Structure 1
Amino acid sequence: MDLFELLPDDLLERFRARAKGYDERNEFFHEDLAELKSQGYLRMFATIDDGGLGFGLQQVAAAQRRLATAAPATALAINMHLVWTGVAHLLARRGDDSLRYVLAEAVAGEVFAFGNSEAGNDSVLFDSNTVAAPLGDGSYSFTGTKIFTSLSPAWTRLGIFGKDSTGQEPMLVHAFITRDTPGYSIKDDWNTLGMRASQSNTTVLDGAVAAADRVFRKLPVGPNADPLIFAIFACFETLLAAVYTGLGERALQIGVETVHKRRSKKTGKSYAQDPDIRWRIADAALAMDGLYPQVDAVARDVDGLVNHGGMWFPALVGVKVRATETARTVVDLIIRVSGGGSYFAGSELGRLYRDVLAGMFHPSDDESAHATIATAWLGPVEQ
């Protein structure tokens, strides 16, 4: 199946039409999710022999970019499912079958979500405020609060992690719980400026138990070279970049359409003939043209098992920051040429302006990305 069969134009138009209502009502994208499931979208990373589409990260990123041109909040939330299935795919490609069941369950219709983010935890995957308590049979009880849990109304599998401090060396324990697991609650607190359809509510873990066979990694606190960490960063950052690239792409399309329609009272010509507006449109197009090949190249190198060594993490955080910042710049440029209509509630461009702001909050943020890149080029800060 190619990209245009997976996401045909008429399907994207339905998504775009619904996106406005989801945003206005602060409502989850149930209809979009049902249609994506029926297209096989949630099983893209599984092999064809296993009932999937056989896509790699490069193809999935391209699909996410296309989806985001119609419904950025839908694409952003679906990213979380695709991160876990992508991680399982990347590990399997590297000879690690520890998450093979994730792909099998995705093919069976399960929806995976990402429950790792914690307020104030700037160590991200290298430490946790959540307590992971061993129960003696290999299972763990998790107690803590997870924020930005996209897909909250729909997930059936939630990936979580916490810190086990009972041994000589604290360990970070990664596991999955199911929708039926007791000991968690979901707050109804997603009332945000943008990306509203993602319904990324706070999840409170209060002794939620992950079974022993769903505890899939125990890692020391702090940075480490485990393939799981690379796989999570590779999928998370690349797919985020793809979503915001699609958002910027759509903003540019709207801008081109709008300036052709608007006419100057002074000259009688369309604003597409105004030299200042042409400059801004060209600026936006130049910015986007540099982004498409970067996202594609990073995803292609991940698929190709290219060894960038110590430059992998700078490449991954770099593409995420560039995509989110470029998209924000492009949306701002397009609003400047589109007139006051974009300021009214219900305007697609106005919604993109709100949606694009979420990009600065996803890890890696601007500060940590710059620290990562500076360390790669200059070495660590002297103590």
Structure 2
Amino acid sequence: MTSFDPARYLPDDLLARMRERAVVHDRENTFPHDDLDELRAAGYLGILVSEERGGGGLALAEASVLQQRLAGAAPATALAVNMHLVWTGVAKVLRDRGIDDLSFVEEGAAAGEVFAFGISEAGNDLVLFGSDTTAEPDGEGGYRFTGTKIFTSLSPAWDHLGVHGLDSTSPDGPKMVFAFLDRDDSVVSRDDWDTLGMRGTQSRTTELRGAHAPARRVVRRLDPGPQPDPLVFGIFSVFEILLASVYTGIARRALELAVEAATSRRSKKTGTTYANDPDIRWRVADMALAYEALPPQLAALAHDVDALADHGGRWFSLLAGVKHRAVTMAKSVVDDAILVGGGSAYSSRNELSRLYRDVLAGMFHPSDPESAHSTAATAWLGPVTA
């Protein structure tokens, strides 16, 4: 693997174009097809795919840096492509552990195909460990999925959708089935994405109406509930790290905009810029202190995933924790950036106004604050006893 240069995949001119288009996609509630096309042409969809299969061969820590950089220009584009990178990241996690079950994901991504994440369901706080979607065996090793998935990012653009569902007919007990679907008439995407922020993700509701996954695209049958299977670990670890990366990138951009405002706005009272105001300096410093803690944490955890580190039962607490800290930090930083920016930041045309809305989406992604705290409490105190 050659030395890592973020500008190879995300040069400044590309980021500038994406930042300009982000305004339009947010205002018009449209999907950033141009962004996706340029990322595909740059090989971005295959950054986590092995070089042997035509990808970039990057480490998870390097992908985290890229996602932070992308989110600073176009948060919705970064969050949307994140869901594709989750599956390529899971393929890498498995491959690194000698399991090549998702080779077709790597090959497809290297060829420019888009994989989407169809796991979330309304009211399903079990997430990976349970599902309201039914998985009906087809008698030949495949399954037909019937149910409703929410927050399906990349809805207008995906080629393959990774889903899970519950097979309650299995003679050896209920099984959680993980598989990949192709687009056809049995997969219906509702045009219902009209949200406060992250509008460009177009994370629409998806109806599965007996959608078929052949045996070759069924990747796991697991007992419901927490499982030590590498697929579950791969999904959780890559999802949390890359998600935290997106919101960390938003925080970095908000901090940059606050610095620009502080160094350009002048006080009538003092005749100098607000960069010399002790209260503003304290606020910007507080933002920097909060932000600067996250990139090293993300780098360390991502490296541990790549290096097959063994954190045992602590893994889920560590991963949920970094996501929770990134999201709460980012919201706090954006809040302070709005104050530093002054009244102009309240205008819908101001970039900080969009970041203020975009960053709110972080609280809805797993692990939510309640789950993160429960996981941390169990890691340190053990399970609740009667």
TM class by shorter-chain length? Answer: over 0.9
Instruction: Tell me the amino acid that sits aligned with residue 344 of structure 1.
Output: S
CA separation in 1, counterparts of 2:140 and 2:9? 44
CA separation in 1, counterparts of 2:368 and 2:190? Answer: 25
Alignment match, 2:261:
258
AA aligned to 2:248 is T
- Are 2:21 and 1:14 equivalent residues in the alignment? no
* Identity between Structure 1 and Structure 2 (%): 59
- Letter paired with 2:357: R
Specify which of 36, 40, 61 is matched with residue 37 of structure 1: 40
Which residue pairs with 1:158 in the alignment?
A: 161
Q: Alpha-carbon deviation of 1:183?
A: 1.1
Alignment partner for residue 362 of structure 1, among 356, 361, 365? 365
2:288 corresponds to 1:285: yes
In 2, Cα distance between equivalents of 1:196 and 1:367: 25
**Following the alignment from structure 2 to structure 1, what is the Cα–Cα distance between the partners of residues 57 and 6?**
12
For normalisation by structure 1, the TM-score amounts to 0.99
Unmatched segments (≥5 aa) in structure 2: none
> Aligned partners of 2:112, 2:245: CA distance in 1, in Å?
24
Specify which of 191, 198, 203 is matched with residue 200 of structure 1: 203
Q: CA RMSD in A?
A: 0.8
- The alpha-carbon deviation at position 289 of structure 1 amounts to 1.1
Equivalent residue in structure 2 for 1:374, among 373, 377, 381: 377
Deviation at 1:249, TM superposition (A): 0.1
Say yes or no: does 1:218 pair with 2:231: no
Offset from partner CA, 1:205-241 (integer Å, 9 cap, x none)? 1111111111110000110100000000010000001
Counterpart code for 1:202: T
Q: Aligned ranges for residues 1-383 of structure 1 at < 5 Å?
A: 2-168=5-171, 169-179=173-183, 181-383=184-386
Deviation at residue 2 of structure 1 after TM alignment: 1.7
Q: How big is the shift at 1:39?
A: 0.5
Give 3-state SS (helix, strand or coil) of 1:69's partner: helix
Q: Which amino acid aligns with 1:158?
A: L
Deviation at 1:167, TM superposition (A): 2.4
CA distance in 2 between counterparts of 1:66 and 1:295 reads 14
Matched position secondary structure for 2:300: helix
How many residue pairs match? The answer is 382
Find runs of 4+ consecutive structure 1 residues off by over 4 angstroms. Answer: none
Q: Give per-residue Cα distances to partners, 1:311-343, cap 9 Å, x unaligned.
A: 111110000000011000000011111111111
1:56 offset after TM fit, Å?
1.3
Distance across 2 between alignment mates of 1:340 and 1:72 = 23
The 3-state SS of whatever aligns with 2:55 is coil
On the 8 A contact 1:182/1:209 being kept in 2, the answer is no
Deviations 1:250-297 (A, max 9, x none): 000000001111111111111111111111000000001111111111
Return 5+ residue gaps in structure 1 as ranges: none
For 2:9 and 2:181, how far apart are their aligned partners in 1? 30
